[in-house]
Amino acid sequence: MNTAMDIRREPVDCAGHDRTLLLRMFRKMLEAREFEEQLYYLFLTAAMPGTMHQAVGQEAVAVGVVSALNPDDSITSTHRGHAHCVAKDVPLKDMMAEMFAKREGSCRGMGGSMHLTDFNKGMLGAFAIVGSGIPIATGAALSARVRGSGQVAVSFFGDGAVNEGIFHEALNMAALWNLPAIYIIENNQYALSMTVAESSAVPDLASRACAYGMPGLRVDGNDVLAVYEATREAAKRARAGEGPTLIEALTYRIRGHARFEAAGYRPSEEVEAWKNADPIERLAAGLLASGIASEDELNVIRAEAEAAIEDAIEYAQSCADVRAEDYLSYITAEN
């Protein structure tokens, strides 16, 4: 378990970074946060079917990584994937419609929260079998090589996923063949109730990279620019044919594992300490400290993000419900 000593709270160091990029990151993180905050209320009122896994507190990882990619680069996501979608520019309205099981949803109401994705945005899918997106992103990297497309493929997965055998198989092949892949361990310190120390013999997860002869680094996952810089470097290497990189982004899952899971296995001081290291607040502080934006300007962006989610909910509720037989059109490619 990580102690409060490991937690970094300092403002994101924005000096020398592009204002447009920074404000876009701020906006995306806010959208991801607000999307999930509103989902929570929708679940509370039973307005929403199924379940969900919130990435509240982890937004800097999704946004930092994707901001360093090209729009046509591929990613794979997980059961905890809403923020990845927001970062990858999946329209918020389509995402919300999917959550409500509407025909206009990004997966036509067939996928739901755990499979929320948009193939047109370079999202190959959200895979809810822990670890199963890792080889799939690796395959997209192989495909990019074969096709000579210059694309990079990124796999997001949790600290728990590194203990699936498929992690080893995929990273070995990626390194063996110098594939343009980037592996992002979103280390939120828990896999349901299990801490990293309770489930990995070597708790320094980035160090596993040495087994494959690839670079492995740990970054402050609540510092969106640290995540961005590490990913940019990895993408540069990948595109230059220098092979894959493993990045461990240290962050924290502020909420329970799923929907209403209470997470009673965590000391409340730990949760409180991490709430005080909020990645959105840290970016806001950095933007203010560097004079890149004023409080008023940030408030405008906050209001815009809230309004965008409100619009998405209103839109989604006005969409047509999935018709029971719709699935018949989607089972195989011939349908």
Indicate which single residue of 80, 145, 237, 266 sits in contact with ligand TPP (rule: CB under 6 A).
Answer: 80
Residue 271 near ligand TPP by CB under 6 A: no
Helix (H) or strand (E) segment spanning residue 250: strand 245-250
Q: List C-alpha distances in Å: 19 to 4, 33, 297.
A: 32, 21, 12
Residue 273 near ligand TPP by CB under 6 A: no
Indicate which single residue of 64, 91, 112, 244 sits in contact with other proteins (rule: CB under 8 A).
Answer: 112
Q: Considering only residues 34-93, where is the footprint of other proteins by CB under 8 A?
A: 49-51
Indicate which single residue of 113, 187, 188, 189 sits in contact with other proteins (rule: CB under 8 A).
Answer: 113
Q: List C-alpha distances in Å: 100 to 207, 248, 317.
A: 41, 33, 7
Residue 333 near other proteins by CB under 8 A: no
In DSSP notation, 216-232 reads EEEEETT-HHHHHHHHH
Residue 165 or 291: which CB sits closer to ligand TPP?
165
Q: Considering only residues 165-224, where is the footprint of Mg ion by CB under 5 A?
A: 188, 191
Picked from other proteins, ligand TPP, Mg ion, none, the partner binding residue 113 (CB below 5 to 8 A depending on kind) is other proteins
Beta bridge partners of 148: none
Q: How far is the CB of 52 from ligand TPP (least distance, A)?
A: 12
Q: Report whether 209 contacts 144 (CB < 8 A).
A: no
List, in order, residues 6 or more apart from 133 with CB less than 8 Å away. Answer: 76, 77, 78, 124, 125, 126, 127, 155, 156, 157
SS (H, E, C) 191-212: ECCEEHHHHCCCCCHHHHHHHH
Residue 100 or 274: which CB sits closer to Mg ion?
274
Phi, psi of 133 (to 5 degrees): -80, -15
Residue 285 near other proteins by CB under 8 A: no
Residue 190 near ligand TPP by CB under 6 A: yes
Number of residues that bind ligand TPP (CB under 6 A): 15
Indicate which single residue of 57, 91, 122, 131 sits in contact with other proteins (rule: CB under 8 A).
Answer: 131
Q: Considering only residues 137-166, where is the footprint of Mg ion by CB under 5 A?
A: 158-159
Q: How far is the CB of 201 from other proteins (least distance, A)?
A: 9
Helix (H) or strand (E) segment spanning residue 175: helix 165-176
Which positions lie near ligand TPP, rule CB under 6 A?
79-80, 128-130, 158-161, 188, 190-192, 253, 257
